[in-house]
């Protein structure tokens, strides 16, 4: 196939491109900046912004399929930048797929579109997105996913995948954010960390994309117009997860529980302050972030197994062992001190 991957230079996008190239597909990417990694893979790069319909048109032309992976991710910030990239950009992708006769569109969504107060445990795709989200990122991703699924029809087959907390070698988000949050050998986090959370290794997420792409092309009636959760199917207490990621990064730190009410109040105050000063920060302390750190979020993957033939190709423990081998050991940050502030890592979900 000739496949366009939007956001191909990103963490997940690059792995999708790598796996597509490895099996012999002709791959191109749409991104705002040139990528040396994509160049080394032999991926043709179109430079442009999703908000520019002409740039999207040039990238889509001549393709058999599009994997729409690019997005603005974050846990805070004003709605407009998220809307322009995630919603307007997705509209442009759909329109240009139709204009150029592209028959297959795979959308990278997020499991956070269904996250709600109190968390979600073992839910299926029958659970609808919430009417009001705690942040612009999940709100705009939910809207974009709805546009993609509604676009499914005889001329354009569409499907959406919902990975969650993607990590692995080269992770620029989750593990680095945890390491930055460590203070004097302690990791200040809301609650006791007993909430179960599932994650997605980057190779697992990319593998699911290739499965969905192929299944959609072969049997559009079977999977078209549907969304699927994908992940490791190995939910673990958040406290355990953070410990694994920090040790793999060579950071020795102990969990420091911040009272949930204090963390929630601090996040609400932070959200209000960001709005008041019209801040554009996308990774500040927020109610959305604190809620995801306090509550469970894991999902039933039965539909992906049944319809896509999905199984995680990388186990959680094997993935952590790989990270540990790739990272040199680092000493403890220093003498332990009590936690006094609800500082938490900013990680897009």
Q: So which residues are the catalytic ones?
A: 137
Q: What's the chain look like in SS3?
A: CEEEEECCCCHHHHHHHHHHHHCCCEEEEEECCCCHHHHHHCCEEEECCCCCHHHHHHHHCCCCEEEECCCCCCCCCCHHHHHHHHHHHHHHHHHHHHHCCCCEEEEECCHHHHCCCCCEEEECCCCCCCCCCCCHHHHHHHHHHHHHHHCCCCCCEEEEEECCCEECCCCCCHHHHHHHHCECCEEEEECCCCCEECCEEHHHHHHHHHHHHHHHHHCHHHHCCEEEECCCCCCEEHHHHHHHHHHHCCCCCEEEEECHHHHHHHHHHHHHHHHHCCCCCCCCCCHHHHHHHHCCEEECCHHHHHHHCCCCCCCHHHHHHHHHHHCCCCCCCCCCCCCCCCCCCCCCC
- Cβ count within 10 A of residue 149: 17
Residue tagged 């992976």 (tokens):
69
Structure tokens at 83: 């809307």
Q: Are strands 196-197 and 236-237 parallel, antiparallel or unpaired?
A: antiparallel
- Cβ count within 10 A of residue 250: 14
């Amino acid at each position: 196939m000739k496949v366009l991957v939007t956001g191909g230079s990103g963490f997940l996008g690059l792995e999708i491109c790598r796996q597509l190239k490895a099996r012999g597909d002709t791959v191109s990417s749409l991104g705002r900046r040139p990528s040396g990694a994509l160049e080394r893979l032999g991926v043709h790069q179109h430079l442009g912004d999703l908000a520019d319909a002409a740039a999207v048109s040039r990238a889509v032309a001549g393709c058999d399929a599009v994997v729409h992976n690019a997005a603005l991710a974050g846990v805070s910030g004003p709605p407009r930048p998220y809307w322009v990239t995630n919603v307007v950009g997705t509209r442009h992708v759909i329109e240009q797929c139709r204009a150029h006769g592209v028959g297959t569109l795979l959308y990278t969504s997020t499991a956070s579109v269904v996250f709600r107060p109190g968390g979600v445990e073992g839910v299926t795709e029958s659970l609808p997105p919430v009417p009001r989200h705690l942040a612009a990122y999940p709100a705009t991703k939910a809207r974009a996913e709805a546009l993609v699924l509604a676009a499914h029809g005889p001329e354009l087959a569409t499907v959406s995948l919902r990975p969650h907390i993607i990590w692995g070698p080269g992770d620029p988000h989750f593990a680095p954010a945890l390491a930055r949050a460590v203070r004097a050998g302690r990791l200040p986090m809301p609650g006791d960390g007993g909430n179960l959370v599932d994650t997605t290794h980057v190779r697992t997420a990319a593998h699911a994309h290739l499965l969905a792409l192929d299944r959609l092309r072969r049997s559009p009636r079977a999977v078209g117009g549907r969304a699927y959760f994908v992940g490791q199917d190995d939910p673990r207490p958040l406290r355990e997860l953070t410990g694994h990621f920090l040790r793999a990064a060579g950071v020795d730190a102990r969990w420091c529980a911040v009272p949930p009410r204090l963390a929630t109040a601090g996040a609400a105050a932070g959200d209000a302050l960001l709005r008041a000063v019209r801040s554009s920060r996308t990774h500040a302390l927020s109610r959305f972030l604190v809620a995801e750190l306090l509550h469970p979020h894991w999902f039933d993957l039965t539909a992906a197994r049944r319809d896509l033939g999905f199984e995680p190709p990388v186990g959680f423990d094997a993935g952590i062992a790989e990270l540990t081998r790739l990272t040199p050991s680092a000493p403890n940050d220093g003498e332990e001190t009590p936690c006094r502030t609800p500082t938490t890592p900013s990680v897009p979900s």
